[in-house]
Amino acid sequence: MIINKNIENDAYLKLVHYAFQKCDSIFLIKRNDQHKSSTNKIMGIIMQTNQYTENDIVNMYTVNSKKFLEEMVGQFIDNDTIFEEDEWKENLVKLGADSKQIEKCKIDNSFHMIEDSIMQFVYEHLTYSWISKHRNSIISEKNRYLPLKYISNKAMYDEQFLYTTTYYIRLTNEIKAELINKNSIYDWCFPMALEDLCFFKDGYCWLYSVAHEEILDIYCENEEEYNYLKSIGVEFVEDHFIPISEKEKEALYNKNFNNN
């Protein structure tokens, strides 16, 4: 059943407590960097120039992400080594772009590359630390690959890119503490955490979320559960309980375990 809006604050805490009584596992997703070489290059420039450590970057972003990003963009937006322009500039010229359009494109792309690299760097640090901390609670993990095409020396290459890793995690007191340390379902989102918190019971998905798209469903088992969730502040699109069939349960199992 579809949820109208984010579940947060007191409603989120009550939902987590309820889910721990009902469910036996969760999954969280880590998305991998498609532009890792570019991220590493840009972060190397930023860290070497300012003598920042990895922890410095993470701490400054965590304290005030907007201010930190603005400072880094201001410092490096004109750094020519951040954004190598020869190839894309040639393509813009072929498309008829004038000098002002080319300059605007350079600034826009440099801006996004700096911000995206910092956020990806923070994400990698925080998610790696979280996974390492809770390694003993992870039941299994599943990699999802996507085809990646690239051109080198005028030849086309096909590779498999590791797009996501899904972690299936048993519910423990330590995991519960991590969950209630957040304020909402949608706090499980890039770049500050692993993403898309989902709860499972007996192999099927009871709560499904895609945080960055603000998608949230709860598959209530009965009317009593539906009414309880409403009483703690969960707002359903549906104004009454709609049961799910065994066939729908099977589809939920297949969807979440085989396609992620």
8 A C-beta contact, residue 184 and residue 6: yes
Its pTM stands at 0.86
Determine, yes or no, domain membership for 148.
Answer: no
8 A C-beta contact, residue 26 and residue 200: yes
Least confident of 140-154, 172-186, 202-216: 140-154
The pLDDT value given to residue 230: 95
Determine, yes or no, domain membership for 153.
Answer: no
The pLDDT value given to residue 260: 46
Band the pLDDT of 151: cuts 50, 70, 90: very low
89 and 176 both lie in a single domain: no
Classify residue 135 by burial, with Cβ atoms within 10 Å: 0-12, 13-18, 19+: exposed
Distances (CA, A) of 21 to 15, 17, 25, 253: 10, 7, 11, 20
100 and 183 both lie in a single domain: no
Orientation angle between helical segments 9-22 and 223-231, nearest 10 degrees:
150
State what percent of residues in the chain have pLDDT above 90.
62
Other beta carbons within 10 Å of 100: 8
Determine, yes or no, domain membership for 216.
Answer: yes
Band the pLDDT of 226: cuts 50, 70, 90: very high
39 and 75 both lie in a single domain: yes
Determine, yes or no, domain membership for 242.
Answer: yes
Nearest-angstrom CA–CA distance, 62 and 121: 12
The pLDDT value given to residue 184: 95
8 A C-beta contact, residue 205 and residue 199: yes
Which residue from 198, 232, 193 is spatially nearest to 217, judged by alpha carbons?
198
Which residue from 75, 140, 136 is spatially nearest to 111, judged by alpha carbons?
75
Higher pLDDT, residue 107 or 233 = 233
Determine, yes or no, domain membership for 165.
Answer: no
Band the pLDDT of 106: cuts 50, 70, 90: confident
- Chosen domain end from 139, 159, 180: 139
238 and 185 both lie in a single domain: yes
132 and 41 both lie in a single domain: yes
Tens digit of each residue's pLDDT (9 = 90 or more) over 30-68:
999 988 888 999 999 999 999 999 999 999 999 999 999
Determine, yes or no, domain membership for 157.
Answer: no
Number of domains in the chain: 2
Whether the predicted pLDDT of 160 surpasses 80: no
The range of the structural domain enclosing residue 256 comes to 1-24+171-260
48 and 124 both lie in a single domain: yes
210 and 230 both lie in a single domain: yes
Whether the predicted pLDDT of 247 surpasses 70: yes
Least confident of 51-55, 234-238, 242-246: 242-246
42 and 105 both lie in a single domain: yes
Nearest-angstrom CA–CA distance, 96 and 139: 55
The pLDDT value given to residue 80: 80
Higher pLDDT, residue 110 or 31 = 31
| Mean pLDDT, the chain, integer | 87
179 and 252 both lie in a single domain: yes
Tens digit of each residue's pLDDT (9 = 90 or more) over 171-184:
999 999 999 999 99
The pLDDT value given to residue 152: 47
Other beta carbons within 10 Å of 179: 22
135 and 89 both lie in a single domain: yes
